[in-house]
Amino acid sequence: MIGLTDTEIAAVEEELSLAESTEETTTEETADAEAATQTETFESIQQQVDRTASVFTHAGQYIKGILPSLIMAVLILVIGLLISKLISRIIKKALSKSNVDNAARSFLLSLIRILLYIIVIIMALSALKVPMSSLITILGAAGLAVSLALQNCLSNLCGGFIILFSKPFSSGDIIELDGSVGTVRSISILYTTIVTFDNKTVFIPNGKVSDAKIINYTEIPTRRIDLVFDISYSADFERARKLILGVIAQEKMILTDPKPVVRMTSHNESSVSIDTLVWVKNEDYLTERYNMIEEVKRVFDESGIEIPFNQLDVHIRESADE
């Protein structure tokens, strides 16, 4: 090189040689680090693969071990449910041919279905080799906890049994219960269903039904219509009585036995009250009640029998200054 001494040339060559050596060392270290990282990654993947394979192996062995019991349990469950439905249908047909009313029939069918399903589930668990003693202990503890939490439901269930055996009413009866009047549609495990005359569905808990006052309007085939007609003191009572008896005689739905009653019942402040008691069949009650009220009003108007009503007389007093 021009202008450099031998000593300087030797120093430059030595620096170049040192730089090349350092670069080679760095490259080797980088390669070693990358190789170590790749090795660690491969080992980690291998461990994950081994764990997954172990899980699948154990799962396969477990399934292989319980597969016969599992198949048996599924078969018991499927066949048991089919048999339960068949038994329910047979019992339903038998009850339909018996004297059991529709409300009690639905209650019994619901109870029998639940019992059959419980038996099928217990048999399926037995096929899976579930310890029955432990299961019964658990169910007993759970049943106690549930019974404490669901006291009202158990009360309704017991109320359903009381209704079923005491039979205060049947499906299709017209009853008055808990402030509701309507036709009994069904008695389920927990509720009694009533359809009111304005087509509202009322669900009353069986526990309340068994404790409540029940008025059954259709248990006896006949029913009495109680009406009160008021006439003024100036009207002729005997004439009014004959007019009411004439209306009764014209109404074909009114029964002659028991005999109708038309009697004076009270002296009021501005009127005389006449009790009118007639008997009809249950299905004719509302129609005949409306007929009687309308016809008595018509004949009273035609005959000049005054029906009093409340009147208010207002007296205006003028002051002395005026």
As a whole number of angstroms, the distance between CA 300 and CA 240 comes to 7
**Which of 35-44, 63-72, 206-215 is the most confident on average?**
206-215
Residue type, 128: L
Residue 85, pLDDT above cutoff 60: yes
Judge if 165 and 184 occupy the same domain: yes
DSSP state of 99: S
Same domain, 169 and 238: no
pLDDT in tens, 93-140: 887 776 666 666 777 787 788 888 888 887 887 777 767 666 677 767
Specify which residues 181 forms β-bridges with.
Answer: 176
Residues 211 and 238 in one domain: no
Is residue 228 in some structural domain? Answer: yes
Q: Is residue 73 part of a domain?
A: no
User: Is 49 part of a structural domain of the chain?
Assistant: no
Closest CA to 81 of 127, 113, 129: 113
Question: Which residue in this structure is represented by tokens 């329910």?
Answer: 88
Same domain flag for 227 and 289 = yes
Strands (E), the chain: 174-177, 180-187, 191-196, 201-205, 214-216, 222-231, 261-267, 272-281
| Dihedral angle, C-alpha 50, 53, 55, 59, nearest 10 ° | -160
Task: Return the H-helix or E-strand segment holding 146.
Answer: helix 132-149
pTM of the entire structure? 0.53
- Share in percent of the chain as helix, strand, coil (round to 5): 60, 15, 25
For residue 276, what are its two tokens? Answer: 């009118």
The whole-angstrom separation of Cα 222 and Cα 295 is 22
pLDDT tens-digit profile of 282-302?
A: 989 999 999 999 999 999 999
* CA proximity to 288, closest of 233, 222, 235, 231: 222
Shared domain for 203 and 226, answered yes or no, is no
The confidence score (pLDDT) of residue 1 equals 45
Domain identity same for 173 and 237 = no
Indicate whether 88 pLDDT > 50: yes
Residue 278 pLDDT greater than 90, yes or no: yes
Number of structural domains (the chain) is 2
| Residue 241 neighbours by CB under 8 Å, 6+ apart | 262, 264, 274
Domain-located, residue 95 = no
d(CA 15, CA 21): 10
Residue 282 per-residue DSSP state:
G
**CATH assignment at residue 175:** 2.30.30.60
Query: Considering 216, 234, 252, which residue would you say is the last residue of a domain?
Result: 216
Range of the domain at 285: 222-303
At 316, the amino acid letter reads I
226-264 confidence digits (pLDDT tens)? 999 999 998 999 999 999 999 999 999 999 999 999 999
Same domain, 228 and 205: no
184 by Cβ neighbours in 10 Å (0-12 / 13-18 / 19+) ranks as buried
Distance between CA atoms of 187 and 101, rounded to whole angstroms? 10
pLDDT digits (tens, 9 = 90+) for 141-175: 766 666 665 566 667 777 777 777 777 888 888 89
Distance, CA of 253 to CA of 8 (rounded, Å): 144
CA atoms within 13 A on the CB side of 221: 1
Q: Tell me if 208 sits within 8 A of 178, measured CB to CB.
A: yes
Q: Are 128 and 70 in contact (CB under 8 A)?
A: yes
Residue 283, domain member (yes or no): yes
3-class state of residue 58 by DSSP: helix
Distance CA 165, CA 108 (A): 11
Whether the per-residue pLDDT at 224 is higher than 90: the answer is yes
